[in-house]
Amino acid sequence: MKEGLHLRRLLVATGGFPNRAVLSLLSLVMPHSASWLHWGDTDLPGIRIARVLKRCLGRTPEFFRCGGEDVRRFKARLIPLSVQERKDMAADLKGAPSALGSSVLRADLAEGGWLEQEAWEPSTDRSSS
């Protein structure tokens, strides 16, 4: 909102995994939308939210500020991975190596942490908006 993204795009906060109301709204909007950007946490639950949205809406989102390159670029803001998070990510990658978000999970594992959506500061990179 500080950057004015809401003036150029419809912003929908799912508050975690989307409920029926959010899915209903998105299913009404998506047929009229040329692009769909997903901005979420880069941990496994965040990636799973993107996967649920893709499955329910039938469209693949473009990751916005939550891709592998963002994980590498904002190393100082990463939340360290626990041993269990590492195991869970590795198991997910082993079971679905090319699933949506797999490159993000690989970056998390390589860098040792995940990027929380709220860690983004508008002044750090206006070119992505």
pTM for this model (two decimals): 0.85
- Interaxial angle between packed helices 83-95 and 44-57, expressed in degrees from 0 to 180 and rounded to the nearest 10: 30
- Which domains can be identified in the chain, with CATH numbers? 5-128 (3.40.1360.10)
Q: What is the pLDDT of residue 11?
A: 77
What is the three-class DSSP state of 79? strand
pLDDT at 106: 98
Average pLDDT over residues 40-65: 95
The residue that leads in pLDDT, 7 or 83, is: 83
Across the range 119-123, mean pLDDT stands at 66
- Mean pLDDT on 57-78: 93
Token pair belonging to 113: 């942490």
Averaged pLDDT for residues 105-109: 98
Residue 123: predicted pLDDT = 55
Q: What is the pLDDT of residue 112?
A: 98
CA distance 40 to 56: 17
26-49 average pLDDT score: 92
The partner residues of 113 in beta bridges, in order of sequence, read: 80
